[in-house]
Amino acid sequence: AQSVTQPDIHITVSEGASLELRCNYSYGATPYLFWYVQSPGQGLQLLLKYFSGDTLVQGIKGFEAEFKRSQSSFNLRKPSVHWSDAAEYFCAVGARGSNYKLTFGKGTLLTVNP
């Protein structure tokens, strides 16, 4: 069965600083990988996804993520954080040939200081 670990429960950065949120997954083959964002009081919105091909994927709102098979990681990055990026971020893995289930990490809460 697949699993996802987000090692950082809470991260605080200053506005304008760079950001990297970590995600490690466990799955026996090449997974489908997703990053979702949840703003306060809102549902989840897809930031980006990796299915195959180029291991560096671009998403919305200036985010990108890199799939590293050797490290079983899919870290999310942004070069310059804006105050509006304050939210909770979830990494998710989907298994090919499964019931299309997504398994989510426990989330990383991002606080942005002015």
Partner 1 sequence: EAQVTQNPRYLITVTGKKLTVTCSQNMNHEYMSWYRQDPGLGLRQIYYSMNVEVTDKGDVPEGYKVSRKEKRNFPLILESPSPNQTSLYFCASSLSQGVVNEQFFGPGTRLTVL
Give the residue with the Cβ less far from partner 1, 66 or 88. 88
The residue ranges of DSSP E strands in the chain, in sequence order, are 3-5, 10-14, 19-21, 24-26, 32-38, 44-50, 56-58, 64-68, 73-78, 87-94, 102-104, 108-113
User: Does 44 contact partner 1 by CB under 8 A?
Assistant: yes
Question: Can you tell me which of 27, 32, 50, 67 binds partner 1, judged by CB under 8 A?
Answer: 32
Nearer to partner 1, 11 or 15 (CB): 11
Interface residue with partner 1 among 10, 18, 39, 51 (CB under 8 A) is: 51
96 interacts with partner 1 by CB under 8 A: yes
Specify the residue, 97 or 114, whose C-beta has the smaller distance to partner 1.
97
* CB burial readout 66-81, b (16+ within 10 A) else e: bbeeeeebbbbebeeb
**Least distance between partner 1 and beta carbon 47 (Å):** 10
Token pair for residue 72? Answer: 């079983």
53 is a contact residue toward partner 1 (CB under 8 A): no
